[in-house]
Amino acid sequence: MNTRFYTGFAAICIGLAFLITGPAADARPKVKTKNQHYRVDGSDAAAIVSSMMKQHRLLGGQGRVGRTKMKRRIEWEFTERKKSCRVKRHTIRLDFTTQLPRHRSEKRLRRSLRKDWRAFAKHVKWHEGQHRKIWLSCARKAEKKVNRARARTCGQLLNKLERIYKQSNATCDKRHARFDAKETRRLGRHPLIRRANLRK
């Protein structure tokens, strides 16, 4: 029986604050990225894959081999005038934590298997990097909409900005899902996975 493999993502949105003050909106996502590694054992492909499958609790689901978590904090400052409110300052902070596989004794693997393992680990890292890029793209698009937003009152403006981010989250989730669906099939054809499946 073949095993399905995929990488995953998780998003946590924390914090929402606003102040009322005076002119000019400017924002660039402030980004921090931290890589973490989980240990992988095994001297053949099937054992390596089995070792990764045991990490499903850490990675948030059965079949996952990598994961990227994102925490987002958004802060706004508003400029209020007669019958008008707009964004003066808009700060987005994105903290990424990526969980990647690392073989405990990679140098002891047979040369051909070591080559396949390194290519697999590199692909997982690339895959998680694409999730990070998707989030950054979504954040920049939302940022532009926020900076153009206007309303008669700051309460109405806050509601409008919350809708912008809600819509952005939904769109971004769909982009992640489409990417994962495509990449799951590709990852299943990777030489390391094919080696493992041949042993089953």
Q: Which residues, in sequence order, are CB contacts of 158 under 8 Å at separation 6+?
A: 18, 76, 78
Note the pTM of the prediction, 2 decimals.
0.81
pLDDT at 62: 67
Cα(51)–Cα(53) distance, integer angstroms = 5
pLDDT at 186: 83
The answer to whether 67 touches 99, Cβ cutoff 8 Å, is yes
Predicted confidence (pLDDT) per residue in 158-179, tens digit? 899 999 999 999 999 999 999 9
Residue of 30, 24, 6 lying closest to 79 (CA atoms): 24
Q: Express the helix, strand and coil content of the chain in percent, nearest 5 each.
A: 50, 35, 20
pLDDT at 11: 47
The answer to whether 52 touches 44, Cβ cutoff 8 Å, is no
Tokens linked to 85: 């409110």
C-alpha 148, offset from chain centre: 26
Confidence of residue 53 (pLDDT cuts 50, 70, 90): confident
Cα(170)–Cα(142) distance, integer angstroms = 12
Q: Domains of the chain: which residue ranges?
A: 6-198
Predicted confidence (pLDDT) per residue in 105-117, tens digit? 999 999 999 999 9
Residue of 48, 47, 43 lying closest to 107 (CA atoms): 43
Predicted confidence (pLDDT) per residue in 74-102, tens digit? 888 888 888 888 888 888 899 999 999 99
